[in-house]
Structure 1
Amino acid sequence: MSVEWGPVRQSRTHELVLESIEKRVVAGDLKAGDRLPPERELAPVLGVSRSALREALRVLETIGVLVAQAGRGPDAGARIVRHPDDALGRLLRLHVALGSYNLHDVLESRVMLERQNFQGASENAVQEDLDEAERILRLMRAPEVGAAEFSDLDTQFHVLIARTSGNQLVSTLTSAVRESVRPMILEALEAAPDWPAAAGALNDEHTELLRLVRAGEGARAADLAEQHIRGFHGRLVVDET
């Protein structure tokens, strides 16, 4: 029996650099705060060109695990960091826009995450967190606040609640999912036929959510969070069948 052969896949050079750095991170050789050697030293050690090394470093910056500072001095060079929130949000927003994920599934995921967040916040939030949440809600109630500013403050409120829930991964996922639908949320807010009435209704729900969290009524807060999200996001989901 004859065997048919075909070309093997050749990894691009920067992918090999990424693999090398990833292995060091997984092994614990590289940790958050560590600096990579200068390009002129690291490239020959890895046996790659400086352009291939730079391409790999740009990928790591994009996914939020590295920051590169140009110039000279103690802050120059590439440093390992932990900034997953913005990176995951950007990535998920692009995939939602490209249709990689069904919008209905994204919104259902947000419901599950927010239920967990408000339940957890009612058990773990400290006074400082609650005071900050109240400050955000005061800003949202200002009569001069338009849809764009309202949307930004709404994001801050929900992300703050997520961060007080006691689960950092759930917090990061919440931030990413919320960021992925930010353009659609803003569009829906701007399309409200009666903006003051719409803002007032949403503010009332936010106020009650915070009251339940303060009171430690996690189950009721979780139920209201689901009602709050479904009531608003129901306008965004288009029947794709």
Structure 2
Amino acid sequence: MRTHQLVQSWLEEQLAAGRLAVGDRLPGERMVAEQLGISRASAREGIRVLEAMGIVRAGVGSGPGAGTVITANPGAALGAALRLHMATSHLPIEDIVQTRLLLETWAAAHARPAAPAMENAAALLEAMESSAPDEKEFLRLDALFHVALADAAGNVLIGAMMSSLRESIEGYTLRLTRTLPDWAATSARLRAEHRDIHNAIRNDDGALAAEMVANHIEGFYKEAGFSGS
């Protein structure tokens, strides 16, 4: 078993036994090394891997923020893995579209009208509608809007998966805008659809919101010339 796997297994045991919890600080490298029977350098390496995975956050200095804190951010690890697969073209666009449809229609159907994330979604709508952003900025706001809707459903894992997909969505949609016949017309339609989806959720009509989200996602990709298999 590799060093980071030893440290991860140890941390899992500590969390399961209730000896550590999210927000707690890890023991020092020396103590971790002693408990696992490994060198301090190996313990340090293992903790750094956990930090890259979003499981812990390392602080600096000697004040209240010092030490390594358990954060449990699953989106960080998922996002890193997805970005690597994107770089090697291991995520076909069809797979992203299908995954978005599965996650986002469920999220829209279960989104809570009064969830704090809906306020964030509203602010993102305003940014898209009032500042006339360019394609790249518009699609960044667009992806964040869809993540906010997923967060409004209250499922932590769904939210983390959507958050991790965000950069992949931005990248593909930005490339697809080059094939659109009229970006101004498309962006105006997308803004109107965003608003309709947001209103449907605010009106507690999850079924309508889910239908709108499906049409919204599929409509963009079809307009860009992607029809799937």
Query: Which category describes the TM-score, using the shorter chain as reference length?
Result: 0.7 to 0.9
Deviation at 1:55, TM superposition (A): 1.3
How many residue pairs are counted as aligned between the two chains? 228
SS where residue 69 of structure 2 aligns?
strand
Q: Where does 1:165-204 land on structure 2 (aligned, <5 Å)?
A: 165-189=153-177, 192-204=180-192
Asked whether 1:78 is paired with 2:68, we answer yes
Asked whether 1:64 is paired with 2:64, we answer no
Match of 1:118 among 105, 108, 119: 108
Root-mean-square deviation (CA, aligned residues, Å) is 2.5
Give the % identical residues.
37
Asked whether 1:133 is paired with 2:129, we answer no
Instruction: Report what 1:90 is aligned to.
Output: 80
Q: State how far apart, in whole Å, the 1-side matches of 2:115 and 2:4 are.
A: 47
Unmatched runs of 5 consecutive residues or more in structure 1: 1-10
Q: State how far apart, in whole Å, the 2-side matches of 1:127 and 1:75 are.
A: 30
Deviation at 1:66, TM superposition (A): 0.3
Larger radius of gyration: 1
Q: State how far apart, in whole Å, the 2-side matches of 1:16 and 1:80 are.
A: 16
AA partner of residue 44 (structure 1):
E
- TM-aligned CA distance change 1:132 to 1:93, over 3 Å: same
AA partner of residue 164 (structure 1):
A
Q: State how far apart, in whole Å, the 2-side matches of 1:42 and 1:231 are.
A: 52
Asked whether 1:207 is paired with 2:195, we answer yes
Instruction: Report what 2:209 is aligned to.
Output: 221
Give the conservation status (yes or no) of the 8 Å contact 1:147–1:190. no
Match of 2:14 among 13, 19, 24: 24
Q: State how far apart, in whole Å, the 1-side matches of 2:28 and 2:149 are.
A: 40
- TM-aligned CA distance change 1:60 to 1:239, over 3 Å: same
Deviation at 1:26, TM superposition (A): 3.2
SS where residue 181 of structure 1 aligns?
helix
Unmatched runs of 5 consecutive residues or more in structure 2: none
Bigger mean CA offset, 187-196 vs 142-151:
187-196
Instruction: Report what 2:220 is aligned to.
Output: 232
Q: State how far apart, in whole Å, the 2-side matches of 1:182 and 1:136 are.
A: 15
Give the conservation status (yes or no) of the 8 Å contact 2:113–2:204. no
SS where residue 132 of structure 2 aligns?
coil
Give the conservation status (yes or no) of the 8 Å contact 1:85–1:176. yes
Q: Where does 1:8-47 land on structure 2 (aligned, <5 Å)?
A: 11-47=1-37
Instruction: Report what 1:5 is aligned to.
Output: none
1:182-223: per-residue Cα shift (whole Å, max 9, x none)? Answer: 211222235544322221111111111112222222212111
Match of 1:52 among 30, 36, 42: 42
AA partner of residue 213 (structure 1):
I
Give the conservation status (yes or no) of the 8 Å contact 1:115–1:225. yes
Asked whether 1:159 is paired with 2:119, we answer no
AA partner of residue 50 (structure 1):
R
Deviation at 1:129, TM superposition (A): 4.4
1:149-178: per-residue Cα shift (whole Å, max 9, x none)? Answer: 111211221111111113222222222233
TM-score by length of 2: 0.87
Give the conservation status (yes or no) of the 8 Å contact 1:89–1:175. yes
